[in-house]
Amino acid sequence: MCGLAGTARWGGGELPAAADGLLRRMTRTIAHRGPDETEFFRSGPVGLGFVRLSLVDPQGGGQPLSTEDGSLVLIANGEIYNHRELAAGLPAGTQLLTGSDCEVLLHLYRRDGLSFLDQVRGMFSVVLWDRDRGRLVFARDRFGIKPLYFHANKDRVVFSSEIKALFDDPDCPREVDWERALSDQQMTGNLVLDDAPPHAWFKDIELAPAASVLTFDLVSGERRSHRYWSFPEFDGSRTGSESDLVRSYGEALAASVQDCQMADVEIGLFLSGGIDSAAVAALAGIKPRTFTALNGSTLENRDAEWAHRTAAGLGLVNHQVLQDTAAVPGIEEWKRHLWQMETPLAGPETYYKYELYRHVGAHAPEIKAMLLGGGSDEFNGGYTSSLAGGGDWSDFAANTGRMGIRWDQQRRPELGAWWDQPGLPLVRAEALRAAAGGGRPDAYEMLFRTKYRDVQLYNCWHEDRTAAGNGIEARVPFLDHRLVEIVAAVPQALRPALIWDKQILRRALAGVLPDEVVNRPKIPFFYGSGVAHTYRAFARMLGQQGGLLLEEALSGPGARQYLDADNIRAMVRRIENDPGSGYVEFPLRAVNLGLLESMAADLPEPLVSAPKAAIPRAVPITDWDRQTAEIAALVVRRPAVDPQAVLSRAEELLLLRSPDDPTTWYLAVEGSIEYVVDESEEPDWIPLLRALDGVRPLADVVSALGLELKPLEPLLSEALEAGLLLPAAGTP
């Protein structure tokens, strides 16, 4: 994992002297990506900057790389996994001057031209200067794992691994693309199929396309794109039995995991409680140290526990990295994180991942790369059961078909209105599809194409930034084109048996992992029964210091034009008081856009010199069953109950007695019943709630009722955490 930066001038003339200062600023901005080395290259119309994280040939593999005659110069971010195999096929007499895995690309380009990546396996973004042709070349891997952004105007093109470095050029626009962002399916969560090209969230910033070679003629300014790999058609063309397909998939996955372990340094693994990262752990040839997020959500949904048990079963060291429920990202901390992510999709998942990387970087700096289980759900059928809505394969197919119809409706809403009528639609789906252009694949394939877009716009994006922000490289074995091509070719008749709930993966790992791990239901990271802990923390983040973060986000011109500030404030308050009342991601995405607008207008200092929050620590766990109470006490940190605090009920809290049972009370928040209290089980709770008047200290209220405070402390603490009780201003 490295960082690329540079600029090139149209017309073929020499770069101006100011380019040196620009290159220095850009490399400083992305210095976090490459803590081991910084290099520059200037020749004619091209200037390159490179920051290196050395994983292969640490001593001799520095960049830029060039051919003997200097006619080709290259900088690359990522890894070429099959570089030795490729080097063996080069013309006789070809000499490689370094042990770098990326040097082979120069000679492949010299031999094959724009087809030089056809046989390459790896993850990479590449910038190549072809001096003799006056050609600048950009290229990225098949899934866009490694980023490359650029901005071009009438005078020059400027490019980098991260958007923020482009802003170091004073001629580069720094404007959030509000309309495009707010309508993006990733932002809205709308259940519609979308295979539109990924974008960069900012106006006039372009993302070099995945699986493509982009060329610029620096004399004429002409731009051309050559696609060297296309996402497969899901044509079900594979022959063979279910067992043949499972075996082929398992062999390809094992080969990909082996590829991803290529390095001359130590590689670790982020381990969750699901089968994806467990599969990588089981297939890894060299046993990696593993790291797991331990927070309120992963404790309650048991993801952290299953990660511990999986690691123990495989004989792996597991570090449970603690983020307790009282931890709330500070204002500046969140802004730094968002600037690192440079996407409005930053949220709890990206933050927890980033904190894991920070722990590894501080406590295990010898680990320079991290294996991940990402990408499995997207291409192995991990969302089939949720899209089935509790049903089976036929329900999944029907619901996916309806998502395809929504795609058609968006393109022909006047005809699609027949599908919005009560009862049964009166127009055939085939007619609507034809009217919408008729060019889209069937809904099953479109779902996977949508996930291909999601991977580029979210998964690969945030995995790159969370790792890069800590000088670590993320490696993703499931994002291997061989695996996706196998899934695409599964015959239609076998899809219910192999694609439903990732059965092709589960069956491939049978006998490799314990049955309870192979068959454990999918639970997405921090979601499930403990999601309230995460939602409350992030709502508090937005509301801290009188909503300072929220108000900054709402203050910019774009935010004032597009966002309903009052409704965003109200939604944040509601989620903080009742984490089950909505998804914190929705208001957070809107707030992120406003913050990105603010920071782009007034650029923050480079991330390598920005202050950092305290490094999260790991909790030593040897026996989960024996340490259960100890673990819970460390993770779930509810507010302390101060006897001298003056408490009152939140204005939106109402106490309602059941008309049918006088011993049953309902606690309603903003008109919605959220809690039920049985007086036969908690006889003192309702009298205490009714007596809290915001005037007397808690100890006096409890004493007047003839009660003892100690037995009531757990309920009081939970009520304070939920925002049902509020301390009076100026009191503890």
In contact, 698 and 641? CB cutoff 8 Å: yes
- For residue 245, the 8-state DSSP code is H
Tokens of 92: 């006789």
d(CA 420, CA 422) in angstroms, rounded, equals: 7
Helix 242-260 vs helix 275-283: angle between axes, to the nearest 10 degrees? Answer: 70
Neighbours of 398 (CB within 10 A): 14
**Cα–chain center distance at 380:** 18
Distances from the Cα of 529 to the Cαs of 102, 501, 604, in angstroms? Answer: 45, 20, 37
Q: Which of 578, 492, 585, 505 lies closest to 538 in space, CA to CA? A: 585
d(CA 343, CA 128) in angstroms, rounded, equals: 27
Neighbours of 243 (CB within 10 A): 9
Q: What are phi and psi of 7, to 5 degrees?
A: -150, 150
- Peptide bond connecting 727 to the previous residue in cis, omega within 30 degrees of 0: no
Residue with tokens 């149209």: 10
- For residue 513, the 8-state DSSP code is B
3-state secondary structure of 640: coil
Tokens of 548: 């300072």
CA atoms within 13 A on the CB side of 48: 24
CA dihedral angle for residue 681, residue 684, residue 686, residue 689, rounded to 10 degrees: -140
3-state secondary structure of 387: helix
Distances from the Cα of 105 to the Cαs of 56, 120, 450, in angstroms? Answer: 15, 9, 30
Which residue(s) pair with 8 in the sheet? 46, 157
Tokens of 513: 């992992």
Tokens of 22: 């620009």
Distances from the Cα of 415 to the Cαs of 399, 419, 687, in angstroms? Answer: 20, 8, 60
CA atoms within 13 A on the CB side of 58: 12
If you write DSSP's letter for every residue of 176-225 in order, what string do you get? Answer: B-HHHHHH-HHHH--S----PPP--SBTT-EEPPTTEEEEEETTT--EEE
Q: What are phi and psi of 322, to 5 degrees?
A: -85, 130
Which residue(s) pair with 668 in the sheet? 654, 673
CA angle 163, 167, 168 (to 5 degrees): 120
In contact, 682 and 715? CB cutoff 8 Å: yes
Q: What are phi and psi of 172, to 5 degrees?
A: -85, 130
Which residue(s) pair with 76 in the sheet? 126
At 461, which helix (H) or strand (E)? helix 460-468
Residues 6+ apart with CB under 8 A from 524: none
Neighbours of 283 (CB within 10 A): 22
Tokens of 305: 């526990």
Burial class, 537, CB count within 10 angstroms (exposed 0-12 / middle 13-18 / buried 19+): buried
Residues 6+ apart with CB under 8 A from 276: 373, 374, 376, 377, 478, 505
Active site residues: 2
- For residue 115, the 8-state DSSP code is G
